[in-house]
Structure 1
C-alpha cells in the first residue's frame, strides 16, 4: 500500500463524518453476504486497468505473458486502432512507474493513454480511469478528480471508476465524499478492491478493528497473488499500529510466501524486525525492498536505520539517492511527497521543507501532508502554526505514532508538557515506530516525567 497508509496510537473518538455511518453498513452487509464476493474479482488498488485483454486459447511457447507490457505492446502494434489495448498498456505503465519511481514511465503511460483517447474520445472509460490513476501517481489530485468524474459519467456502473474517485477525494481531504464513493463502489461490486478502500476509510478514522475485518474480507476475495500480498501487507501494518509486531511479522512472512520479493512486504517485515529489536534483519529487508523498488520511503527508512546504527556513511548513501530523486521531481514540477518533506525537515533545510509542504498542500490537503507540514514548521521554529497543522493531521482520528510524536514535540516546544505527555504515551504504544524518533520520544517523555 501507499506510505500514507498511516500508523497507530488511539486518539480520543471524534464525531462520525457524514459518510462514515453509511460505511458502517458495509461491515454488516459483508457478514450477511460473504458469498457475494466474486471469485474472479480484480484488485484495483490504485491503478489496475479493467480494459479487456485479447481472447485466445493460448500463446506460443516463449511469447510474452498475457497482460504483460510486452504482450500489450505487441497488441497495439498489431491493432493500432484498438482503444482498449492502448488503455491497458497505459495502465500497465502506470503500475510499473509506481514500483520503479521512474518518471519516464509515467510519460510513456500518458502517451499510450492519449493515443487511446484519440482513437476513441467519448465514453472511453478504461482510458479515463487510467488517466485518473496516472494523475494520482503524479500527485496531481485535482486532475485525478476530473478524470474520475469523467469516468463515472461515461460509465456510472463501473466500480473501478468509483475507486479512482474515492482515491482522489481522499487525497484532497474530502473524506465524506470519499466515503460516499467507496460506498457506491462497494454497492456495485464488493470485491477485493472496494473492500480494501472501505478498510482504508475506517483506518483513517482510527477504527483499526473494522479496518482489519474489511481487509480480511479483501484477502478472501483476492484474485491474484499480488492482491493477496497487498492485503497481507495492510494487515501487517495494522498489527504494527496495534502494537503487535510479532503478529505483523507472521503476516508479512505469509504474504512473502505468496509473493517472494514483494517490496512493500519486505519493508513492513523490516519494520516488524525493528520493533522486535532485530535491526540486522530489518536492515537486510530494507535492502531487499530497495533492490526491487528504490522508492523514497524505502530509501528513507534504510537511511534512518543506518543512522540509528551509527553507520553514517551508509546512511548518507541513501540520503544522496533521495536528494537525486528530489532533483528529478523538482525538474518535472511534481509536488513533493510527504517522505521528501520529512527528509528535508530532518536532514536538510527546514525552511525549504516548509516551502515544499506549502506547495504540496495546495493540491493535496491530506492528513499526512498536514503532519509533514506541521513537522517542517516545528523544525523551522514556527510552533504555533505547526500545532494548527498537527491538529488537522489528527482530526479524523487517524492512529499514527509518528503524527502523535510530532504533535508532542510541538506541544513541548510551546510549553505544554501535559499535552506532550499524552501524545508521547500514545505514540509509544508502538515502541518501534521510527528508528530515530522512537528513542527521541522516550527521552522526551522521561524528561517531562522527571521535571518538577
Structure 2
C-alpha cells in the first residue's frame, strides 16, 4: 500500500479482501479493517463512478455488522454514483430481506440483470439473483422451488469460478434448505460437496454435524462440531455441541459449552450486536435468564423485522409466560407461509399452552411431517405433546359419552 498510497482502487481492493476474509473466518474484526481501508479509498475519491465500488463494499461491511438501514443507504448511494454496475442491488435485496420487506426485496431481484444486453448464466449477476430468489422462495413456502434455484446457483458459481468459499457457501445454503425439509441424504451430499470445494469450511462442518445429530450418530456430530468450533467459535455451534453432550449423558461437558455461549456473545461490542437473536433463542431453549432473553429479542426487533426475529420474540414470550403476546408474534413469524419445522414447533407449543388443541395438533404435526428429526430434543417433545393431546381428547370423549348415558 505504501507504493500506491494515493490509489483509491488499491484501498478498495484491500477492503474487499478484508470482507472476504471475514466470510472465510467468521471473524467480525475484519469488518473494522475493511472500513478503514474503504474509508481511505473514499477519502481519495468520494464522488462519481470511481467511488461506486468502495461505496458498495462499505454497504457490505454494514450488512456484516447487521446495520441494515445503513447498508441499504450505502448500496443506494453506490447505485446513484452512476457506474452502471447492478451489483449493489444484491445488497439492497439483502437489507430489505433482513428488514422483513419481502415484497420489495423480491421486486428488486429483477434489477440484478445486465442492462447492456442478454444475460450470461456465468455472470455474477445471474448467480446473485438466483441465490436471493432461492431464499425468498423458501420464505414464501416454496421449498422445492427454492432448492431448484439454489442448485442452479451452485452451477453458476462453479461456471463463474467464484472463490472456493463462495461456492461452498452456496452448497451450504442448498444443504440447509434440504435439511429443513427433511431431505437428510441430499443435505449431507451438499455439505460434503462444500467440504470438497473448500476443506475445513466451518459452515459445512457444523451443517454436517446437524445431519449426524438427526441420524443419531452423536459421536460423529460431536467431532464435527469440535472441528467447526476450532475454526469459528459461533455461539449457535457451541450451543448445539452442548445439546449433543446433554443428549448422550455428559452434563458437565454440556454446561461448559452453555457457559461458553454467553461468554462469546458478550466478548466484544460487535458480538453484542451480532448475536442478540441467537442468545435470545439460547436462553429460551434452555430456560435461562428468560427476562434477559426477552430483552435481547426485543432489541433485535428494533433493527431486524424478518420472520425469524419475530419467531425468536414469540418463543421468548412463550417461555416468559406471556402467551397472548407470543401468539401475536408467532402470527407475524408465520405470515409468509414458510415451511420450517422449528416455526411449526414453536407455533404448536404456543397454541398448546393456550389450550387451542386443534391448532396445536396442526402445527406440531406439520413440524414432524416436514422433518421428523428437526431438533435433537424438540422432535421428541412434539411427538409427546401430540400424544398427550390425543389422550386428553379421548378422555374428554369418554367422559362426555358417560355423562350422556347418565342423563
TM interval, shorter chain, is 0.7 to 0.9
Q: 2:379 matched to 1:438?
A: yes
Aligned to 2:184: 245
Give SS of 1:159's match: coil
Contact 1:88–1:126 (8 Å) recurs in 2: no
Higher RCO, Cα 8 Å, sep 6+: 1
Contact 1:228–1:258 (8 Å) recurs in 2: yes
Contact 1:125–1:151 (8 Å) recurs in 2: yes
Aligned to 1:77: 2
Aligned to 1:418: 358
Aligned to 1:174: 101
Contact 2:276–2:299 (8 Å) recurs in 1: no
Q: Which moved more, 1:164-173 or 1:310-319?
A: 310-319
Say if 1:333 and 1:238 are closer, same or farther in 2 by CA, change over 3 A: closer
Say if 1:331 and 1:191 are closer, same or farther in 2 by CA, change over 3 A: closer
Q: CA deviation at 1:388?
A: 1.0
Looking at structure 2, the residues matched to 228 and 99 of structure 1 have their Cα atoms a distance apart, in angstroms, of: 12
Aligned to 1:283: 222
The one of 44, 47, 54 equivalent to 1:127 is: 54
Contact 1:335–1:356 (8 Å) recurs in 2: no
The one of 108, 112, 120 equivalent to 2:37 is: 112
Aligned to 2:307: 367
Looking at structure 2, the residues matched to 257 and 293 of structure 1 have their Cα atoms a distance apart, in angstroms, of: 19
Contact 1:100–1:295 (8 Å) recurs in 2: no
The one of 243, 248, 261 equivalent to 2:200 is: 261
Looking at structure 1, the residues matched to 56 and 68 of structure 2 have their Cα atoms a distance apart, in angstroms, of: 13
**Structural mapping, 1:343-382, within 5 Å:** 343-347=282-286, 348-382=288-322
Give SS of 1:294's match: coil
Q: 2:406 matched to 1:449?
A: no
Aligned to 1:209: 144
Write out per-residue CA displacement over residues 272-293 of structure 1, whole angstroms, 9 at most, x where no aligned residue: 2222221221221111111122
Contact 1:246–1:276 (8 Å) recurs in 2: no
Contact 1:432–1:438 (8 Å) recurs in 2: yes
**Structural mapping, 1:188-227, within 5 Å:** 190-222=125-157, 223-224=161-162, 225-227=164-166
Contact 1:336–1:356 (8 Å) recurs in 2: no
Aligned to 1:397: 337
RMSD value, Cα: 1.9
Q: CA deviation at 1:233?
A: 1.4
Give SS of 2:291's match: helix
Aligned to 1:274: 213
Question: Where does the alignment leave 5 or more consecutive residues of structure 1 unmatched?
Answer: 1-75
Q: 2:173 matched to 1:234?
A: yes
Point out the structure with the larger helix share.
Answer: 2
Contact 1:300–1:339 (8 Å) recurs in 2: no
Contact 2:27–2:232 (8 Å) recurs in 1: no
Aligned to 1:8: none
How does the TM-score come out when normalised to structure 2? 0.87
Q: CA deviation at 1:164?
A: 0.7
Q: Which moved more, 1:141-150 or 1:249-258?
A: 249-258
Looking at structure 2, the residues matched to 357 and 440 of structure 1 have their Cα atoms a distance apart, in angstroms, of: 24
How does the TM-score come out when normalised to structure 1? 0.79
Looking at structure 2, the residues matched to 95 and 319 of structure 1 have their Cα atoms a distance apart, in angstroms, of: 30
Q: CA deviation at 1:103?
A: 4.0
Contact 2:78–2:88 (8 Å) recurs in 1: yes
Aligned to 1:95: 20
Q: CA deviation at 1:371?
A: 0.4
Say if 1:419 and 1:268 are closer, same or farther in 2 by CA, change over 3 A: same
Larger Cα-atom Rg: 2
Equivalenced residue count is 377
Contact 2:181–2:340 (8 Å) recurs in 1: no
The one of 11, 17, 23 equivalent to 1:86 is: 11
Aligned to 2:91: 164
Contact 2:277–2:296 (8 Å) recurs in 1: no
